[in-house]
Each structure stands twice: as C-alpha cells, then as structure tokens.
A and B are shown apart, each in its own frame.
Chain A
Amino acid sequence: MREFKIVGKSVKKIDAGLLAQGKPLFTDDVKFEDMLHARILWSPHAHARIRNIDTSEAEALPGVHAVLCYKNVPRVPHTSAGQGWPEPSPYDMVMFDNKVRYVGDRVAAVAAETEEIAEKALRLIKVDYEILPAIFDPEKAMEEGAPVIHDEPDCRQVLPLFYDPKHNHCAHIEVKTGDPDRGLQEADIVVEHTVKNHYAQHCALEPHSCISYLDPMGRLVVRSSTQVPYYARRIIAQCLQLPERMVRVIKPRIGGGFGSKQEIVVEDVCAMLTLRTRRPVRLVFTRPEVFVSTRTRHPMVMRVKTGAKKDGTVTAIKMRVISNTGAYGPHCMTVLGSTCAKTLPLYRCPNIEFIGDTVYTNLLNAGAYRGYGVLQGTFAMGIMMDEMAHAIGMDPIEFWKKNTIRVGETSPIFSALSEIGKGAEQKVDSCALPECIDRGAEAFRWREKRERYRNQPDGPIRRGVGMVCTVHGGTVALLDASSVTAKMNEDGSFNLLISASDVGGGCDTVLSQIFAEALDIPLDDVVVYPTDTDVTPYDKGAYASGTTYLSGLAVIKTAEEIKKQIFKVASEMLNEPPENLKLENKGVVSVKSGNRLEFSQIARRSLYSKNQTQIAATASEYSRLHPQTFTAQFAEVEVDMETGQVKVISYVCAVDCGTAINPTLAEGQVEGSIINGISYALTEKFVFENGRVLNPNFRDYKIFSAPDIPEIKTILVPSYDPTGPFGAKPIGEPAMDGVLPTISNAIYNAIGIRFTESPFTPEKVLRAIKLRKSNRAQP
C-alpha cells in the first residue's frame, strides 16, 4: 500500500471553523435589496382536477407582485430528478398543472413583499376542485379500472424505456442470469418472504432554499441548496424556456441533502417569480413542506425466494419487486434498477431472476434517498441470507463468507443490468469483505454474544445479535462525469475550481487533499472554490456516492496536466529536460543536477518573465465502472417482551472503502448513515389518512437525538482500489444499506420472530409476540 503525505490523514474540514462560528454561508443567509418572499399553495386532495382557479383577489392584495398557476405558466413536461441527460425518468410533471395528484402537490405560488402577505394571498386563491378517486395501494395500482394518475397526453419517457401511465406503471425491469428454476430444484432448502420497507424523509436540517435574482445584464442567478448545480441549471432553463447561457446557479454551503436536494423542487418556481417580477425572490420551505412536498424514500414490496444447499451454497435468488414512486416518477426506474444492479452482485450465485415494476400512487413523491434502492434490496436479501443460514444450521458469518463475491471475480449482474439499462462487464478490483467480517465480528464479540444469548433465561428482556454484509456500487457507470479546473498563483498556491457539491460530507476538503497530494504541496496552498456554474466547470454533483471517487479522479488528472506545464517552465529555467525533473515539497528538483526551483519562482516566471502563460488546466473524467464498497455490520438488540420496545445496544460497522482519504470524515459518513438507519428502522414513520400526512413535524415523526444512540464503532478496513483516486472508493451511502436487516436479524436471534416489514415499532413487535403466544396456547 502506498505511503501518502496528506491523503489518509484526518486533516480538519476546511470549512469547519467558519461553520463553528455560524458565518452566513447558507442559501438563506444573505438578504437582497427589494427581495420578495414566495409561498406555495398545496393541494388538500389526493387526486383532483382543477375545474377553475380564481387568483384575482390574491393578485389585488396590496404587496402581492405575482401569482402563478397553471393558467399563466408555460406547460413544459419535465422531471425534477437531477440526473444526466436525457434523464431516465419520465417527463411527468409541469410547473403547475390543472390536476393535483397527492396531498401536498403544487397548486399555485405567490410572491409578495413579506411572507405574511404571501400567506394571506394564498388564502384568497379560490380553487374549484373536481375530486377524483385516489389509489393508495401500490399492489393494486396496475389493476384494470384503477384511477389513472397520469392521464395527461403529454407525459412521456424521453428515452426508449418502458412506460405505461395508463396503468400507473412507470418502470419495468427484468433480468435473468443462469437458470433460477433449476437452482431452486437443486436446493436442499428453499426460503420465501415478502419484505416491505416504508416511506421516510431525509430530514436534512436545512430546508430546501432558493433565492433568485436578475443580474445587471438581465441574466437569471439562482442561489440554491442544490446537490446538483449543473442539472439544476439545465432543468431551470428547460422549465423557463431559456437558453442555459441565461441561467447561473450558485451553490453555497448546503445543510445536508441525502438525495432530497438532488431534485429541482424550489428552483423553478422561485426563478419564474423572479422573471415575472424582475425582483429578487426568496423561497424557503417550512419543515412541514419539506416533509410532504419534497421527496421521500421509495417503499417497496419485495417477494423473494431463495434456495441453498446443505453445504451452504446459495443456488438461486428470485426477486419480484413493486416499487411505489408516489404521484410522480423522478428516479422511478433507476432506484428500482439499483435494487438489482447494485445489490445483487454481492452474491456468488449464478442463478438470479429479478422482475421489478414501479407504480404511481396518490401518495408522497419518492425520489433519491441515501441507499437508492440498494437499501431496499439489501433489506430483503439480508433477511433471506440469515434465514437460509439458520435453516441449514450454519453460523451466518460462515454463510456470508461462502456466498459473497471476492476480489478478481465478476457477477453476471454487472453485464446484465446497470442503473439504466444493459450493464457493462466488470470485475471486483478490490474487496476486503472477508477482513471486514473478521474484524467486525471480533470487535463486536460475535461468537461470545451468540453463545451467551442462545442460553439466556426467559425473562421480560431478551437480547440478540444479527449481522449482514452489503455492497454498493458507486456512480452511474459510463454516464456520470466530473471536471476540475486548477490555476497557479504567484505564491505557488492554486485555485481549485470544482462543481462537486459538498453537502456536508466534506468533499471540498477531500478533493483538496487529493490535489495537494498529487502536486506535493501543503493543503493550505489549495484554495477550493465550489460551485458557481459561471465559474466552475461541469460536474454531475453530489449523488451515487460518487464524489470522492469520480471528482477525485478528475482532480488527479488536472494535477497531472498542471505538473506537465510546471515541468515545461522549470525545464526552460533549469535548462534541463523534463525527464530529469520531479516534484518535491512545493518545488521542482532535478534528479540529475540536484538543482531546485520553488513553485513561486516558476509561477512568477510563467506569469511575468518569459513565454508568459497562466499555468492552468481543466481535466475531465467519466465513470468507467461502478466501484464496489463493502461493509459487514453487526447489531446487538434488546427486546422488551412486555412492551415490544426494541433497543439497539451496540452496533459495529466494518467498511472497505479503499483508501480513506480522510478517515475522520469517512467515519462521519458511516456514523451518520448508521444512526439514520437505526432511526428509520425503529421510530421514523409517516402516518397517512386518505393520503394526507398527519405527522409532518419532528414531534410526531421521530428522528433519533443524542440520548437515543447506541454504542457505535466504525472500523475502516484498508484496501486499495486500483481504479480509484489514490485507491479510494465511495463511502456516502453504503453503510446505511445494511441497517434494517441487521436489526431484523438481531430481533430474530433475540425472540425467534422474523420481522420483514419496517419499521420495527413496539406495537408491531408486541402484536407478533402476542400472536405467537395465542398460537402456542391453541392445541
């Protein structure tokens, strides 16, 4: 393994000092002269046609400057999904429609002098609704006669992909490798389960925020809390029917995203209000609006059938999935695709069948959320693996080890499917999963705890342990791209211009570390500037765990270009061929003569003295494959047999993310993922009544706070991925994928009841305990 100077060190996050002081760094922390405030009117109905809308009273209210609704905005079918182009998501939404498809759908928007006036104006808008029957059950959405949610003639897929909105059916995927039926016949044991995960919201602490204005040249400037500034620019331009050159998107610091800010949900309306009023407009969602009218996790119903031989070989995996995308379909196909393409390569089984459908319902709009389908698939498979191990009497650790992919191996899934279609062949370039399992098990004291809890006495509190392995392929292979620009300053420092979008994880720091390492300079000599589409070059943005990996590769490539230019100038100055030169500690040294030039000397010469040139470069990379990040996760739970309360006592997550460029930041990704995962597994839950969310607030939608967290240990198991920047692999999402099944398996170990539907709430657990009791009592 290579030795590094700055990579692999937990340098402090470069923006931490400013954030610790509460500096005005976020979208809503600036105030513009004459700024108007926008509010949106939301649908109170799950499914209704708008017969008419009367905005005259609202428009007449003093202080109101614009009211938007379907009558006065262009009808541009598009998707809010921040994806590459053309998007693999249906164009099934318009800025405002004459139909609403869920409680919380957009109806109209107002810009006024104050938020109070804007809210008052909303109450003056008269909407005449024709209420339509709604469909909430994803398993019935495709049935003949079900209410058709997208009956508008202009909704469509722009790519040649399956799309059947007449049956609320917006994605379909089928993959078959080997012979799954024969695999099941050859099995000694066959296991079958229906596994269901539930709706959830990202709960980034900063609400979705946007401020737009016109610059003196009349161009539209949009400050936005977006994870995908370039995609935001493209989609804003599309919705407002402007050329991209008229739109500039600036991404300040972002207060967390987790996928929810990979969607254009505030920017188009805010920008349209600016165009109408020619004034700065601010649109910041309230917390209930974030809960209901942004995006959520796709709930899936997964019917899984698997088989294994007595020796522990998995012989077949069959998965039948229905994914609920809610009222619109951003990411509807790709999340479903990831449930297969990015989850199932973990298993060494050659016989796999995956059939998946995504359906519309009149419920919350799902979208990208940390885990992105892999979390759902891992929930199902994590339970199946545990059940099979149990059925043949093998320790789960041995069973997982026997059936998980190893370094140098490939999976038929890789070439059968990518997120968006046919995949590409690839092998696993690095895999420290066996070490993750061993080191995780040791730190967790797996064997000792298994033994201890096997013989625990009957009592009101029972304990158990569970484990799961995960894989998560990062980036969207062959589509995602990143570019980086760097230029040299007189003092030998560099500006690093990136559009990789730090949402809090720390990529500004990590990419600076990679750049400093590549040019052998101190971190302080890297001045990183993120993202402004007028200034920083194209990057896909923050999603698919791809920033460190893909933007990191672009950083290294840029540094290589810079190095060439530095050597060219240095070779003129030293009168030695470039082959003699090497970089050393912010300077150039000749390995022949021993002569040395400081970067500052080279920079000044290049800018001021001879053959003047700005040493600068822009380089791009696209993702050639899905780098595979592995984890092994272990949970210890306590189940209260009298209340049904499940408590996680301790959690260990061992991760192979290749080289951890910044170990503290990598640990932070894992810890945040695990706690989000446990919170999702145990307490987070939307409560619906006829499609309406009854608990859009932190009091009734309970996310973990500090007293709730268990003892948690992260182990970064070193490996080196030859395709990654200095050996690095993705880390943003992988740890979250395994939490649901790890806890479910631990509950099973504790009380012998398998929970295949999340969340594992006291009511659900207690009901199951009581049901078992009454079943046992019956002869």
Chain B
Amino acid sequence: MREIEFTVNGRKRKVLVRPKDLLLNVIRDELGLKGTKYGCGTGECGACTVLLDGRPVLSCLTLAVAADGRNITTIEGIGTDENLHPIQQAFIDAGAIQCGYCTPGMIISAKALLDRNPNPTEEEIRRAIKGNLCRCTGYVKIIAAIQLAAKRMRGETT
C-alpha cells in the first residue's frame, strides 16, 4: 500500500492504494464519488471518463498511482446543485439524457472539448465524444446539447 495525494474537484485528498488499483475503483469506492461509471473496464465505452489535469482520461485504464500529485475533475466537480455547469444545463434542455448512465462521461468529454475549443464544428463535437458510447439517444440530442452549451458559453444565446 502506498499513500498518494491528489486534488479531486478542488479538494486535496489522501488515499492508500496498491500499485495495481485502478483510478476508477479508487474514485468510486475510496472517494465515494459514484458519478464515474463502469461500463466495460477496457477503455472502450467512455463511461468512466474523468479529467486529469484538464485532459480527459479513461479511469478504468488509469492506475491510481499515476494520478499522484495531479488534479482530477469528476462529474461531481463540474457544477453544483444550485449552479449547474452550462453543459449540464444544455444536456437537460436538449433532451440529451435518457438513462443517464453515459451522461457523466459524455459531459466530461464535452467539457474537455469546449475548454480548449469554444466554437467547435459538428465534426469536432462528434470526434470529441467518439470514445463515449450511448445506446439510448442515438447521439442526435447529445450533439445538439453540446452545440447549445457552446453557444451559451460564448454568450450567443440563453
């Protein structure tokens, strides 16, 4: 066991981990943040996506020790009950959420995109969420939601 320290959603956290522990399991079981989901365990569905120093990573393929000293953002750190992030609000408004299981990973990937590219084309949006599978929506309203969020974040619409 080894103690590592990282910043999770703005808060310093220390956890004891084994070298083989996956970041996904540490986030869910040790930190109790259940918004990050298991969907495949092999990095193919994107339900476990979190931001590591602002970049999207698949927490089911990332060793927890690799996050030592780094900055993690999970879905719980994206907005608050009183103040949802514009991407979360756009997902709600556009009808982009059905079962909601893929939603946290989808929103994290969208945030990573919009943080570096506030005005993406539809192609860029599709590519940014390529690694996030959704079986309910057919992606149509998810793409629309990210477009809506981008517009709102640019102040072009409310």
Chain B residue at minimal CB-CB distance from A13: B97
- Smallest CB separation, B2 vs chain A (Å): 18
Known: A672-B137, A705-B130. A20 touches B107 (CB 8 A): yes
Cα A286 to Cα B138 in complex, Å, equals 23
Given A17-B84, A205-B47, A671-B140; A22-B98 close (CB under 8 Å): no
Chain A residues whose CB sits within 8 angstroms of the CB of B3 once the complex forms: none
CB distance from A684 to the nearest CB of B (A): 11
Which of chain B's residues 1-53 have a Cβ closer than 8 Å to chain A? 29, 32-42, 44-45, 47
For A699, the chain B residues whose CB sits under 8 A away are 42, 44
1/0 contact trace for A688-731 toward B, CB 8 Å? 00000000011100011111010010000000000000000000
Q: Which residues of B contact A706 (CB under 8 A)?
A: 125-127, 129-130, 132, 139, 142-143
Binds B, one of A98-106, A248-256, A557-565, A595-603: A248-256
- Closest B residue to A502 using CB positions: B99
CB-CB < 8 A to A286: which residues of B? 41
Contacts of B125 in A (CB 8 A): 706
- Are A709 and B140 in contact, CB atoms less than 8 angstroms apart? yes
Q: How far is the CA of A675 from the CA of B47 in the complex (A)?
A: 19
Return the contact of B135 from the options A17, A284, A676 (Cβ within 8 A): A676
Chain A, 287-299, contact with B by CB distance < 8 Å: what is the 0/1 string? 1000000000000
A319 on the interface (CB 8 Å rule)?
A: no
Bound: A668/B95 CA distance, A:
8
Q: Contact at B75–A22, with CB atoms within 8 Å? A: yes
- A residues in contact with B75, CB < 8 Å: 21-22
B100 on the A face (CB < 8 A): yes
Contact digits for A19-31, partner B, Cβ 8 Å, 1 yes 0 no: 1111111101101
Q: How far is the CA of A672 from the CA of B89 in the complex (A)?
A: 21
Measured CB to CB, the closest approach of chain B to A589, in angstroms, equals: 34
User: Counting CB contacts under 8 A, is B115 at the interface?
Assistant: no
Distance between Cα atoms of A709 and B134 in the complex (Å): 12
Residues of B within 8 A of A24 (CB): 34-35
Nearest chain B residue, comparing its CB with the CB of A676 = B135
The yes or no answer to A202 lying at the interface (CB within 8 A) is yes
By a CB distance below 8 angstroms, the chain B residues around A707 are 123, 126-127, 130
User: How far apart sit A544 and B109, CA to CA, in the bound complex (Å)?
Assistant: 34
The number of A-B residue pairs with CB atoms under 8 Å apart is 177
Given known contacts A19-B103, A206-B101, is B34 in contact with A29 (CB within 8 Å)? yes
On chain B, the residues within 8 Å of A255 by CB distance are 37, 99-101
Shortest Cβ distance from residue A275 to the other chain B in the assembled complex, whole angstroms: 25
Residues in chain A near residue B131, CB distance under 8 A: 705
**Which residues of B60-92 are within 8 A (CB) of A?**
74-76, 78-79, 81, 84, 88-89, 91-92
Interchain CB contact under 8 A, B136 and A20: no
Q: A367 to nearest B CB, angstroms?
A: 17
Q: Considering residues A15, A18, A204, A504, which has the most beta carbons from chain B within 10 angstroms of its beta carbon?
A: A504
Q: Chain A nearest CB: distance from B122 CB in Å?
A: 10
The answer to whether A12 touches B136, judged by C-beta atoms less than 8 angstroms apart, is no
Q: Mark A304-334, 1 if CB is under 8 A from B, else 0.
A: 0000000000000000000000000000000
Q: Is the CB of B98 within 8 A of A506?
A: yes
Q: Does A10 contact B (CB under 8 A)?
A: yes
Chain A contact residues: over half helix, strand or loop, or mixed? Answer: loop
Tell whether A207 is near chain B: CB-to-CB under 8 Å.
Answer: yes
Cα(A712)–Cα(B93), bound, Å: 20
Q: Cβ of B74 and Cβ of A22 under 8 Å apart?
A: yes
Contacts A13-B92, A676-B138 given; does A703 touch B99 at CB 8 Å: no
Closest to A664 in B: B95
Residue ID in chain B nearest A665 by CB atoms: B95
Kindly state the separation between the CA atoms of A297 and B35 in the bound complex, as whole angstroms: 30
- Mark out the residues of chain A between 19 and 72 whose CB falls within 8 Å of any chain B CB in the assembled complex: 19-26, 28-29, 31
State whether A709 and B138 are in contact (beta carbons under 8 Å apart), knowing that A668-B98, A697-B42 are contacts in the complex.
yes
Tell me the minimal C-beta distance from A672 to chain B in angstroms. Answer: 5
Nearest-CB distance from A12 to chain B (Å)?
A: 6
Question: Cβ of A703 and Cβ of B101 under 8 Å apart?
Answer: no
Bound-state Cα–Cα, A18 to B88, Å? 10
Interface positions of B (Cβ within 8 A of A): 29, 32-42, 44-45, 47, 74-76, 78-79, 81, 84, 88-89, 91-93, 95, 97-104, 107, 123, 125-127, 129-143
What are 20 contact pairs spanning A and B, CB under 8 A?
Answer: A13-B95, A13-B97, A16-B100, A20-B79, A20-B89, A21-B75, A21-B84, A26-B34, A28-B38, A204-B101, A253-B100, A256-B101, A256-B136, A506-B98, A667-B95, A671-B141, A675-B138, A697-B40, A704-B139, A706-B129
